[in-house]
Each structure stands twice: as structure tokens, then as C-alpha cells.
Structure 1
Amino acid sequence: MESTANVRHLDLSSNRIGREIPGLEKHHYLHSSHLFSYSALLLANNRLSGAILTSFCSASSFSVLDLSFNNWSETFDVSNNNLTGKLPKSLGNCKSLALLNVRNDDFEGSFPCMLPLSLRILVLRSNRFHGDLRCSKSWPNLQILDISLNNFSGNVEPLNFSSWSGGIPDAIGNLSSLYLLNLSRNVFTGGIPESLGGLTELGSLDLSSNKLTGRIPHELTELGFLSILNVSYNDLTGMIPIGRQFQTLSADLFEGNAGLCGFPLDRSCSRPPRGPSEPEDDSMPSESKVGEIE
């Protein structure tokens, strides 16, 4: 029999292997002393459940690790790696999945609509996801949604969250559990949906570095727990709303919008604010220059 030291691939897929991975480690080939010797470990299409074993992350010899088509639950965190390709559709089988974090990887493809309704935290930050947001469902338990630093696009005004079709969905305001929403550094267009004022638990809203236009909805002043509102580096216009938490926000959270005026910016609304492409009027006092984001 070939010794395990010479075994480079182990294929246990399409069997009836059950229980959680810690119990599976009792298998001779899955003791940690053997686990790290494989270049490919295939465990797809079994009955594995529970949390994915964290020691997999220490197996630097892996070139292929296939855990698809099982019954994983709880959390899936593979952030800060060099993972590429598309998210596996089999994640939709994780009916108890609460957290998906792929921050700072190199995934691509469209928004992962296959994710289960149990999802509470979704972090796609800093990858190469792209395209319009098109999904036929929503996630009623979602509390944190961070899809910043990608290439998502589309108009943000007339959209319905349960049938995404382009940008910041209008009916996203129905996600009453949401307390962090980060859509920054994409290419969203259109206006900020008034329905965001319905996110009564929201504490942080980051819409910065997009191509949003129009006014900041007054409805956002109703968000009593809001401590961060970043709309910098868009093409917003008009007076910044007055009320509640808005009075505690700093000017840098609004900079990069030449058409905005009012507190906390040092720009009076006594005259119509300049449009994004309009030159300054030399007959009026010079406004402070807006810095550019690095």
C-alpha cells in the first residue's frame, strides 16, 4: 500500500460521509499530520455539517480544496486571501449560513443571489464583482451589507429590493434589521432612495465615491442611531438636510460634491450652488477647493 507521505490527492467526494469535520478528523487520512500533505482534498457531495474546520486554513500545500454540496452552517470566512474565480453556487445549500465574508480576495462575477435567506452578514468588499444587482429575493435577517470597492453599477432610484435591477434598491428600506450598509467605491448612479430613511436601526451608511446625483433625502434625518453618513465624492446637489444626527457629522463626509451647500460645509446656500461642471464665478467670493480622493 502506498504510504500517505506520497499521496498528493485524496478524493472522498460523493460518499455518505456525515457529521462535523472535527469528528471526521478521526479518519486515518484526515489526521492533521496527514491533512497538510495533500495538494488536493475533495470532500464534495457528502453530508458534512456544522462549521468548516479552521485548520484547513493552515494547510498551505492545498492547491485544490473542494467542500461543495454539503450542509455547512454558521459562518464562511475566507477573507484576506488570494482566492479567485466565482463564488460556488453550492453556498445556497447552506440553509443556516449567517455570515459570508470574502473581503480582500479576488473573486469576480455578479451578485451572489443564491445565498440563503438565513444570511445576517454579507461582506464582498474589495473584490471584482460587477454588473447590475439582479435578484429575485431579499434577505429579511440581513444586518450588515458591505459590497464596497467593487464594480457594481446601475441606477439607484426606481429599484425594488426583491427584484434588483441596477443599483441601490429603493425597497432596501424594508430591511429593518440593517445597521451597516456600505456601497462605496462602485459606479452607482441616480439619486439616493428616500426609503433608506426607513432603516431605523441603521448606524453607518457609506455611499461615497460613486456617481450619485440629486439631493440628500430629508428622510435620512429620521435615523436616530446614525453616527456615520458618508456621501463624499459623488455629484450630489442642494442643501444638506438639518436635523438630528446630521448636526454631528463632519464636513469631510460631504466633500467632493461641488453642488452641496450648508452645514457642516463652509458653503452658504444663500445662492444656488455650482453644478459639478460649472466654473466658479469670479464675481463672488472664492470657495475652498474640494480635494480629490487618493
Structure 2
Amino acid sequence: MGLSGNLDVNTLSQLTNLLTISIMNNNFEGPFPNVKKIGGRLRGMFLSNNRFSGELPDDAFAGMKSIRRILMANNEFTGKIPTSLLGIPKLVELQIQNNKFNGTIPAFSQEDFQINVANNRLEGPIPSQLSSQSATSFAG
């Protein structure tokens, strides 16, 4: 679509029935949008292929119990993977490859969970809970 600039989450929060945010393949930039303002009904968040950057707060996903898919690949996020992702019971897909996350991979335990953390700056062992994942999900 060719959209650019910062994402105005305050405007999105006025959409009380919003279930999905899909702004992939644009030129949005700036810090991670505070999607908690949108509310706990969000089911999908697709932010891949933009220019978002910076660290995500550890509580970035707190209270988001309904979200199932989070795609944030190919941005410039840094810092640790937020542990608030561990508290999302319905999460089935997390794609955060090709960013600059560091630290260790959290021990995700969601059922039927797919993750891709390839090409980040992560270190340490792959948690045993994720041993069934494809090796390419951790490459780089």
C-alpha cells in the first residue's frame, strides 16, 4: 500500500470491534505501537515488513488473551522477546524473524504453537518445549 509514518494507535483504539490489525508491507516506522490500548479482543496482529524499531516493553502483550497470530518479521525490533507473550493462551503463531532481538528464547508452552525467531541475535539453548519446531525457525 505504500503507507508510511508512525502508527496512530489512539485512532485505532476507537474502533471498538477491531479484531485484526494488518499493516504489513508498508513503511511504518517508530517504536512498537502500544496495541494494549486497542483492547483484549484483538485476534491477529500483522506488522511484518515495515521499519518499526526499538525495544518492546516486557508487558507489551499483557491482557491480550484472544490473540492467535502475531507476525512482526522483517522490522528492526531490539531487546528481549517480551515474556508477556507466554501468557497468551490462544497464541498459535509467532513470527519475529529478521529483527535484532537478543537474549534467550522464552519457553513457550502454547498448544499447536509455531514460532520463527531466525536471524536475530538470540543465544542459549532452544527450550525443550519447542523441540518439535523446524530447525530453520532458529537459524541465524
1: CA distance, partners of 2:72 / 2:33: 15
Distance 2:69 2:62 in 1: 12
Maintained 8 Å contact 2:32/2:55: no
Map Cα deviations across residues 216-261 of structure 1 (whole Å, 9 max, x no partner): 012x1x21131x2000000000011002xx13211000001xxxxx
The alignment's TM-score, normalised by the length of structure 1, stands at: 0.44
Which of 227, 231, 234 is residue 117 of structure 2 equivalent to? 231
User: Cα offset for 1:112?
Assistant: 2.9
Preserved CA contact (<8 Å) 1:117 1:140: no
Point out where structure 2 has 5 or more consecutive residues left out of the alignment. Answer: none
* 1:134 positional shift: 4.8
Shift of 1:194: 1.3
Conserved in 1, the CA contact under 8 Å of 2:6 and 2:29?
yes
State the distance in 1 between where 2:37 and 2:20 align.
Answer: 16
Q: Residue 138 of structure 1: CA displacement?
A: 3.1
Equivalent in 21, 37, 42 of residue 137 of structure 1: 37
**Matched residues in 1 for 2:69 and 2:116: separation?**
12
| Alignment root-mean-square deviation, CA | 1.5
Which has the larger Rg?
1
Q: Which amino acid aligns with 2:27?
A: R
Instruction: Please report how far the alpha carbon of residue 173 of structure 1 lies from its aligned counterpart in structure 2 after TM superposition.
Output: 3.7
Greater relative CO (CA pairs within 8 A, separation 6+): 2
Question: What are the within-5 Å matches in structure 2 for residues 135-214 of structure 1?
Answer: 135=34, 137-156=37-56, 159=57, 170-214=59-103
> Retained in 2: the 8 A contact 1:186–1:210?
yes
2:3 is aligned with 1:107? yes
Q: Indicate the percent of aligned positions where both proteins have the same amino acid.
A: 32
**1:248 partner SS:** coil
Distance 1:180 1:148 in 2: 12
- Which residue identity does 2:31 align to in structure 1? D
Number of residues paired by the alignment?
A: 136
Where does structure 1 lack aligned partners over 5 or more consecutive residues?
1-104, 160-168, 257-294
Deviation track 1:162-194 (CA, whole Å, cap 9, x = no partner) reads xxxxxxx62404211000000110000000111
